[in-house]
Amino acid sequence: MTSRFREQLEEALFPPFVALLVALICGDLLIMSYGQPPATVYKLLLEGTWGNAYGFGQVLYKATTLTFTGLAVSLGIRAGLFNVGAESQLAAGGFLAALVGLGLSPSVPTVVGIPLCMIAAALGGGIVGAIPAFLRVKFGAHEVIVTIMLNFVVLAFLNWMIATHLHVPETLHTPDIHTGAIPRLSSIFPAFHGSAANFTILIALLAAFAVWFLLFRTRRGYELRAVGLQPDAAEYGGVNVRGVWFRALTWSGAVAGLGGINYVLGYKHYYEDGFAGGSGFLGIAVALVGRNHPLGVVLAALFFATLSQGGLAIHAFVPKQMVEVLQGVVIIAVAMSVPEVRAALRSARRPAAA
């Protein structure tokens, strides 16, 4: 293994390792405060998630949405931009997919229906992502605050649309979507019976591959990463920095929007107000722990999904709220370790005198 590869590996793996360690220690403390033995609880957590088909299916389901939002955030970060709006982009994507799905006549074949809905989902998220993109490029408005504010605006708007026009009475969701519905895993793998896992997983993996390919194998990806690492050098290299910013943030929104199909087309077959449920914000954590690399994002998504589902599995022993505490602690711990690791590795990497 060349030394450069090893150093990159170190910088990439250390923070997630810290995450795991911190999660374990913190988990121990919380579990013990409930008078329970940690080892038993952890065993139960693993059994309830990776140990049985239903639990594993739930993990896969949750990880799918998180993969999309994690990819979205990491794409933005690679270009030097912070997209905090994945939550509303996810919702907008699901919404538009639902509209298209409802609008399509039942005679449209699934092979056409699903891709159409997917495009709609990406479009929904992309439109929401284009707003901060435009404001950043044109006015220099910082995307962090704009996306945070826009989250509220978009979610309120979607809530209004549902509550006043599109909802099935007594609920806050649209009517069922038939064209464009994505089958559950359980339709092919009966072991997954009852879980929400559906074939959106494949789309998520494809998306991860696509983002990886774009970032590391194309000219545009080369330029995007250059802008994120050293915009002055990118400019020198003939890159249109503002153009890259605009496209990165818009595509980031589109990827997050695409994630909406997991719930809307794959699980419930309708759009429900509030379905995003924090997955957009967790996407930030996923990107962070996954070190903004598509493979890391997939693994980090699995990690957080396991925590989330695991919380339900151990509910009899420790309240599932423990998982939420762990989430917050892990994020802070990893955020703290990243600059330290980078600084330590940098001083260790000083070039030898020529």
Is 223 a binder of another protein (CB under 8 A)? Answer: yes
The secondary element (H helix, E strand) that includes residue 244 is: helix 241-258
What separation in angstroms does the CA of 173 have from each of 104, 108, 161, 264?
18, 23, 10, 10
Chosen residue from 226, 255, 258, 302 binding another protein by CB under 8 A:
226
To another protein, the closest distance from the beta carbon of 3 in angstroms equals 8
To another protein, the closest distance from the beta carbon of 346 in angstroms equals 8
- Decide: 296 and 290 in contact? Cβ < 8 Å: yes
Pairwise CA distance, residues 247 & 132, whole Å: 11
- Decide: 53 and 191 in contact? Cβ < 8 Å: yes
CB atoms within 10 A of CB 313: 21
Residues contacting 275, CB < 8 A, separation 6+: 91, 94, 260, 263, 264, 268
Structure tokens that stand for 24 in this block: 């374990």
CB atoms within 10 A of CB 34: 11
CA 146, chain centre distance (Å): 19
Q: Between residue 134 and residue 163, which ones bind another protein under the rule CB under 8 A? A: 135, 138-142, 144-146, 148-150, 152-153, 156-157, 159-160, 163
Q: Between residue 169 and residue 208, which ones bind another protein under the rule CB under 8 A? A: none
Chosen residue from 56, 95, 251, 281 binding another protein by CB under 8 A:
281
> How many residues bind to another protein according to rule CB under 8 A?
77
Pairwise CA distance, residues 263 & 200, whole Å: 9
Span from 42-50, 51-59, 222-230, 258-266 in contact with another protein (CB under 8 A): 222-230
Is 4 a binder of another protein (CB under 8 A)? Answer: yes
> For another protein, what does the binding mask look like between residues 13 and 52, x meaning CB under 8 A?
-----------------x--xx------------------
Nearer to another protein, 52 or 159 (CB): 159
To another protein, the closest distance from the beta carbon of 276 in angstroms equals 14
Chosen residue from 114, 182, 307, 331 binding another protein by CB under 8 A:
331
Span from 120-128, 175-183, 199-207, 333-341 in contact with another protein (CB under 8 A): 333-341
Q: Between residue 242 and residue 261, which ones bind another protein under the rule CB under 8 A? A: none
Is 230 a binder of another protein (CB under 8 A)? Answer: yes
Q: Between residue 92 and residue 131, which ones bind another protein under the rule CB under 8 A? A: none
What letter does residue 165 receive in the DSSP assignment? I
Chosen residue from 47, 235, 277, 317 binding another protein by CB under 8 A:
235
DSSP calls for 195-210: S--BTHHHHHHHHHHH
Chosen residue from 104, 244, 285, 297 binding another protein by CB under 8 A:
285
- Decide: 117 and 100 in contact? Cβ < 8 Å: yes
Span from 189-197, 203-211, 231-239, 258-266 in contact with another protein (CB under 8 A): 231-239
Query: How long is the chain?
Result: 354
